[in-house]
Amino acid sequence: MPAEDLPLFRAHPALREFVARQPFIDGPTPVEPLRLPGCEDANLYVKRDERSCSLYGGNKPRKLEFIIGRALERGSRRLVTTGGLGTHHGFATTILGRSVGLATTLVLVPQPITPEVEQSLALDAAYGAEIVRTSGVPAAVLATLRVLAASQWRGEKPHLVWTGGSSSVGNLGFVSAAFELAEQIEQGLLPKPAEILLPIGSGGTIAGLVVGLKLAGLDTCVRGVLVSDILPPSPRALARSARATLNRMRRLAPDIPVVDLHASDFPIDTSELGPGYGVATASGAAAQACARELGLELDATYSAKCFAALIARARSASLPRGPVLFWSTYAGALCPDFESLPGYEAAT
């Protein structure tokens, strides 16, 4: 999507001059009606962000457009980021960074080993990521500092990418996504949602989306479904992140209005977390099977737990009267021929 077509830049043209961006998003992702079996009366829609980018779909490319744009602007040659062993964010950073000539180091913390996690690690290695495995969050902090120091010593000007891409820079991707949704509403592709449901990991997706919706004049509630117990963000922390994003925008374009951002703008549903981050749940597996019948793919760690929350609320008639939008953040490369990558077999 070229700069002139980015909804954020159309809404606030002054940002185009000051905000670095490396285009990855192919265009607006589709919105479609969602017909849940047994809940045909529910007024549901889905925003299909798994179609966001031809290299790697999901919500990560929206953030990485701005993060990698900033890294290239600084002259960086290496991205350094953190996450669980099967981190989708880490793989997206690796594959998108590689597409523009940037190396990536992933500093990883433990999570339950599943076939999906094993494949993610193999793909990280096949795409050339340097992988540093650690014993937990404190060890990951120390390892990240060592990686940054070594990379700086090599003259690579390393660029630290916060976990999940959640930062005042990365969050801009979902500020723009909110304006994209506002345009789709104006075009009549869906009615204005009363509520949007999406998973919360590091929290940047919901923080950026809430800022963008408020700036676009939409009073839609955004409800996050918590999927991580590793430093989970609180409503207060999400409000701080949202305010930091807005403040960054206003420093660059002072004509952007001030909007109120409070902890109450970030309701969190904790019902589907299960035993913890990366642990598959029975309700999540059932949600995956249901979604597959509807033509949607979900991952066990994030989107399946969010879809499970949607199903539970729809069946208990606890959804709001107005339309509810499920924001699919499913991450996956649209070209599944991974086995042809040099190094994939060895990494496996």
pLDDT tens for each residue of 262-285: 999 999 999 999 999 989 999 999
**Confidence at residue 1, expressed as pLDDT on a 0 to 100 scale:** 67
Sheet with 130-133: list strands edge to edge: 130-133, 103-109, 78-84, 159-161
CA–CA separation, 344 and 338 (whole Å): 7
Which tokens hold the place of 302? 């994030």
Q: How far is CA 54 from CA 58, 309, 334, 335, in A?
A: 10, 28, 6, 8
Sheet with 324-328: list strands edge to edge: 31-33, 44-48, 324-328, 195-200, 221-226, 268-269
Question: What does pTM read for this prediction?
Answer: 0.92
112's enclosing H/E stretch is none
How many alpha carbons fall within 13 Å on the CB side of residue 119? 11
Please return the burial class of 188, using the count of CB atoms within 10 Å of its CB with bins 0-12, 13-18 and 19+: exposed
Q: What is the largest CA-CA distance in the chain?
A: 61
- Through-space distance between the first and last CA atoms of the chain, rounded to whole angstroms: 34
Which tokens hold the place of 108? 């990883």
CA neighbor of 93 nearest in space, from 118, 123, 120, 61? 61
The tens digit of pLDDT for each residue in 129-167 reads 999 999 999 999 999 999 999 999 999 999 999 999 999
Kindly tell me if the per-residue pLDDT of 20 is higher than 70.
Answer: yes
Share of the chain above pLDDT 70, in %: 94
Alpha-carbon 255 to chain mean position: 28
Mean pLDDT (whole number) for 62-72: 97
**Confidence at residue 37, expressed as pLDDT on a 0 to 100 scale:** 87
Whether 143 and 62 have beta carbons less than 8 Å apart is answered as no
CA neighbor of 192 nearest in space, from 318, 324, 313? 324
Structural domains of the chain, with CATH: 3-58+172-328 (3.40.50.1100), 61-166 (3.40.50.1100)
Please return the burial class of 146, using the count of CB atoms within 10 Å of its CB with bins 0-12, 13-18 and 19+: exposed
CA–CA separation, 58 and 60 (whole Å): 6
Q: What is the mean pLDDT of the chain?
A: 92
CA–CA separation, 340 and 61 (whole Å): 23
